[in-house]
Amino acid sequence: MTRLFLFLCLWLSLWSENVLGSILAIDYGADFIKASLMKPGQPFDVLLNRDSKRKIQSTVGWKKNDRLFGSDAANIAGRFPLDSFSSLKFLQAAPYESEAVSFYTSVSTADVVKTERGTVALRRSDGTEWSVEELIAMQFSYVRELAESVAGEKVYDVIVTVPPYYTQFERDAVVDAIEISGLRTLALINDGTAVAVNYAMTRSFPEPEYHIIFDAGASSIRATVVQFSSVASEGKSKASKDATQITVQGVGYDRYTGGTELDRRLRDLMLNDFQKRYKRDISTDKRAMAKLWKEAGRVKAILSANSDAMATIESLAFDIDYKAKFTRAEFEAACKDLKTRYAVPILEALAHAGLKLDNITSVILTGGSSRTPMIQDAVRAAVGASKIAQNVNADEAAVLGAALHGAGLSRQFKTKDIRISDIGPYDIQVAYQAEAKNPGARPRTINTLVFPAGSKTGTKKTLTFKRQNDFSVKLAYKASPAPGFPTEFLEAEIVGVSEAIQNITEAGATDPVVKATVMLSESGFASVRDAVVTGEFKDESITGKLKDFFGKGSSSQSVDETTADVGTAEEESTTVTSSSSSSAPEASATAVKAREPIPLEIEVKFPTISPMTVKEKRAGRDRLLAVDAEETSKRKREEARNTLESYIYKLRDLLEDESSEAPFVKCSQTQERKAIAEKVDETLVWLQDHGEDADTIEYIDKRTALESLERPIVHRYKEIEEFPKALNNSQMWNWSTRLFLTEAKMNLTKELEEGTVGRYTKEELDDLEKTLKDHESWLNEWVEKQKKVKMNEDPVILSSEMRARAKVLENHLQKLVKKRPAKPAKKSTSSSKSSTAAAAEQTDSESATASGAEGSSTSIPHDEHGHDEL
């Protein structure tokens, strides 16, 4: 079971628990990825890539062993056509034999292979195969890293946009990629709906308005009819309509008319032109085809703004530099057959919504291809120029809307209250085998349309079955949702029926039935949520008897196999319960005295394209982590090697400068320099022989060996610089203490003569004097010794020790200076006050003298920060 089950659990826990931390939104397009980060307390914007671009090309690739992303990965396609992977969106969940895959192979030079699941993987030039999910997961990881460097923390939760027409297969593929990348799925959101959220962000709708989001992307064109209205927000009175309700009313789409198809037409124009001019076939030359593809994209962009453009490809094939002029008219002629298709999704979405163009306030253009003149012209012709609105950012509206919705779901942000009601675009039915009445009868399949196209997402329905034994139900699209895609997507085996029926019957129930709940989630996944056996318990009360007398309520009809006909009669049997996600089975209106329903086990299987299993996803995650780990260790190795090399060059420079003034020469002995020179030579030879294949640790070891030779020299030099400063510091405290003692002793003498209470006792002053003398004699002794030491010999005392000793003296002095005057006799209160003030004053003046003596930058008695620096 149970990927789906796990997925549902995830959903439930997301509902019940607040998600904490940053939220990442990704608009994953066939050409470009846009991302946005929502972090509490941070400005909300589109995420920039490492080159400060607001969109990242949806490409991953390898240049030999180096993995690349974005335009770096796209730009190598001409040289490494088997190692650059773009347009992967077309391949999400696509069966190997589907139209999606044949379309992909017509635009890409990549090598497509079939996976065990029947979907596709891409094979690199070195033979390694990567599933589409893994490659997209790499891109998600890349975006995640960008987000984490901005957020300054780990990012886990992501909301990803998908086209509204994405089937369960494709939605599963998106979620699988998210999980392989190590992220968690907060939600999927249809891209048109995300744009609507962005649109609603800065607007209010006192009266309901209808708009069409026309999204022309690289892969496809889709139109979403949306109603915007104002409603009361939670907990507020009905009168204050301060929340915005977005209700999707209809969608239309064309899966294969988009920017990529236009690129393909232009590429073929160039290809044909080249082949005609040079009489050579290059259609199987992957490098040439990759170069043409890149140039087609560039020329298309120019033709959006200009009437002609020059295509230039150096050494396209056979050493020929290709150059040709293309006009917009030629390009549009090559796309003539598409002209009628661009605006069709709008009309379909309107029909789907049951609205007319008159009902629509505006058609909001979005998506990169909405800039293409012929597409704009077609939309203008279909809806009239006055309806066209270009009031959202065509590239960023979807990702910003998605981020905002994600923030709303996480409930930790204060955002404008915007609610979404979306729809599923396909008829979804439940299929099951009728229970055979007489043995040997041909089993009949019964189909119940549970979620007709246009059903609201986030709703569930309960199906009632009169069954005695285990049975299975299949969830399926009524028709194939896209060429080459299957209809059935999920099978739920309901297990333990007969035992549960026996138990409930023994408990006194009559008419036991199986009730199964199917759900269409907010993110567009259909599933069998739960199944139970319930029955009716005879009510002994008067009302119960009366009810029995008047017959049972008719509100809950059963799927009665004797009368049910395929596809129709069951519709009444599905009771729509409220769209809230409360998981408790609804109380039956007819069960007069409800006892606990008995839950049944559900075993989920995937009859056609299966999502990745937990095991497969874990394997994918491990592969990605292994690539990451390899890249990290490669980077560390490069760093270690570069540091070693530049260290060697630094040492060589030091050795070469033989002027006697150079500190390195002054502080070193000849044999030390000789030893370093030998080691440098030895390391250079080693680098020549092993530099390419050595481990990180070897580079570090080599550097450490050199450093240990240089360290004593550096140490001497530092000490030579430090010594005078440390000596100055010592003398300064010596001097300050001496000054203090002289004055204090004078005062003491005077006080003794006058018979007043002195501030310091004789013992205190003698103590300080002793500390001073110790300090002086130590200094005298060691300074003399140090003076005899040559510059290229190791110092006999360290500046750090001098400072530590001066600190002892300083502390002793400070203790006395800060000492509060002894409690004077009562009569001399006023004089004691003045003496406190005087003490403070002295402190200041001492500090002033000291700083004068010490010089400007270094430190001063009483300033703690200054002391730390010493």
Ligand X SMILES: *[C@@H]1O[C@H](CO)[C@@H](O)[C@H](O)[C@H]1NC(C)=O
Question: In angstroms, rounded to a whole number, what is the distance separating the alpha carbons of residues 751 and 759?
Answer: 9
Burial of 494 (0-12, 13-18, 19+ CB in 10 A): buried
- Of the listed pieces 16-24, 55-63, 237-245, 736-744, which binds ligand X according to CB under 6 A? 736-744
Of the residues 182, 458, 486, 496, which one makes contact with ligand X according to CB under 6 A? 496
DSSP string, 493-510: EEE-HHHHHHHHHHTTEE
- Of the listed pieces 293-301, 351-359, 563-571, 659-667, which binds ligand X according to CB under 6 A? 351-359
What minimum distance in Å lies between the beta carbon of 785 and ligand X? 13
What minimum distance in Å lies between the beta carbon of 257 and ligand X? 28
- One-letter amino acid for residue 699 of the chain: Y
Q: Compute how many residues bind ligand X; rule: CB under 6 A.
A: 28
Of the residues 50, 203, 356, 650, which one makes contact with ligand X according to CB under 6 A? 356
Binding of ligand X by 85 (CB under 6 A): no
Sign for the pseudo-dihedral over CA of 503, 505, 509, 515: positive
The CA dihedral of 369, 372, 375, 377, to the nearest 10 degrees, is 150
- Is the Cβ of residue 213 or residue 640 nearer to ligand X in the bound state? 213
Q: Report the chain's C-alpha Rg in angstroms.
A: 40
- Of the listed pieces 94-102, 468-476, 493-501, 605-613, which binds ligand X according to CB under 6 A? 493-501
Phi, psi of 749 (to 5 degrees): -60, -45
What minimum distance in Å lies between the beta carbon of 744 and ligand X? 4
DSSP string, 602-613: EEEE-SSSPPPP
Binding letters toward ligand X, positions 520-559, x by CB under 6 A: ----------------------------------------
Q: For residues 750-769, which are near ligand X according to CB under 6 A?
A: 759
Of the residues 230, 747, 756, 786, which one makes contact with ligand X according to CB under 6 A? 747
Binding of ligand X by 503 (CB under 6 A): yes
String of b and e for 453-490 (b: at least 16 CB within 10 Å)? bbbbbbbbbbbbbebeebbbbbbbbbeebbeebbbebb
What minimum distance in Å lies between the beta carbon of 345 and ligand X? 20
Of the residues 776, 803, 807, 867, which one makes contact with ligand X according to CB under 6 A? 776
What are the CB-based long-range contacts (under 8 Å, 24+) for 550-556? 552/590, 553/589, 553/590, 555/589, 555/590, 556/464, 556/588, 556/589, 556/590
Binding of ligand X by 656 (CB under 6 A): no
Binding letters toward ligand X, positions 778-817, x by CB under 6 A: -xx-------------------------------------
- One-letter amino acid for residue 653 of the chain: D
Identify whether the C-beta of residue 396 lies closer than 8 Å to the C-beta of residue 29. no
Sign for the pseudo-dihedral over CA of 555, 557, 563, 565: positive
Binding of ligand X by 513 (CB under 6 A): no
What minimum distance in Å lies between the beta carbon of 799 and ligand X? 11
Binding of ligand X by 384 (CB under 6 A): no
What minimum distance in Å lies between the beta carbon of 51 and ligand X? 47
- Is the Cβ of residue 187 or residue 772 nearer to ligand X in the bound state? 772
Of the residues 150, 232, 302, 853, which one makes contact with ligand X according to CB under 6 A? 853
Binding letters toward ligand X, positions 690-729, x by CB under 6 A: ----------------------------------xx--x-
Binding of ligand X by 293 (CB under 6 A): no
Binding of ligand X by 106 (CB under 6 A): no
DSSP string, 659-728: -TTSHHHHTS-HHHHHHHHHHHHHHHHHHHHHTTT--HHHHHHHHHHHHHHHHHHHHHHHHHHHHHHHHH
Joined together, the tokens standing for residue 816 give: 């006395």
Q: For residues 561-600, which are near ligand X according to CB under 6 A?
A: 598
Question: In angstroms, rounded to a whole number, what is the distance separating the alpha carbons of residues 245 and 229?
Answer: 5
- Is the Cβ of residue 375 or residue 732 nearer to ligand X in the bound state? 732
Question: In angstroms, rounded to a whole number, what is the distance separating the alpha carbons of residues 698 and 692?
Answer: 12
SS3 assignment, position 392: coil
Of the residues 19, 500, 592, 797, which one makes contact with ligand X according to CB under 6 A? 500
- Is the Cβ of residue 557 or residue 728 nearer to ligand X in the bound state? 728
- Is the Cβ of residue 583 or residue 858 nearer to ligand X in the bound state? 858
Of the residues 696, 731, 814, 843, which one makes contact with ligand X according to CB under 6 A? 731
Binding letters toward ligand X, positions 819-838, x by CB under 6 A: -------------------x
Residue in 620, 623, 603, 622 with CA at minimum distance from that of residue 612: 620
What minimum distance in Å lies between the beta carbon of 736 and ligand X? 9
- Of the listed pieces 98-106, 425-433, 492-500, 680-688, which binds ligand X according to CB under 6 A? 492-500
Joined together, the tokens standing for residue 864 give: 């703690």
- Is the Cβ of residue 105 or residue 842 nearer to ligand X in the bound state? 842
- Is the Cβ of residue 649 or residue 735 nearer to ligand X in the bound state? 735
Question: In angstroms, rounded to a whole number, what is the distance separating the alpha carbons of residues 840 and 847?
Answer: 11
What minimum distance in Å lies between the beta carbon of 725 and ligand X? 5
- Is the Cβ of residue 290 or residue 500 nearer to ligand X in the bound state? 500
Write the DSSP symbol of residue 488: E
Binding letters toward ligand X, positions 268-287, x by CB under 6 A: --------------------
Phi, psi of 686 (to 5 degrees): -60, -40
Sign for the pseudo-dihedral over CA of 505, 508, 513, 516: negative
Binding of ligand X by 499 (CB under 6 A): yes
What minimum distance in Å lies between the beta carbon of 425 and ligand X? 20
Report residue 591 CA to chain centroid gap: 49
Binding of ligand X by 358 (CB under 6 A): yes
DSSP string, 393-407: -TTTHHHHHHHHHHH
Start-to-end CA span in the chain (Å): 68
Residues of this chain that interact with ligand X (CB under 6 A) are 356, 358-359, 496, 499-500, 503, 598, 724-725, 728, 731, 734-735, 738, 740, 743-744, 747, 759, 776, 779-780, 838-839, 842, 853, 855
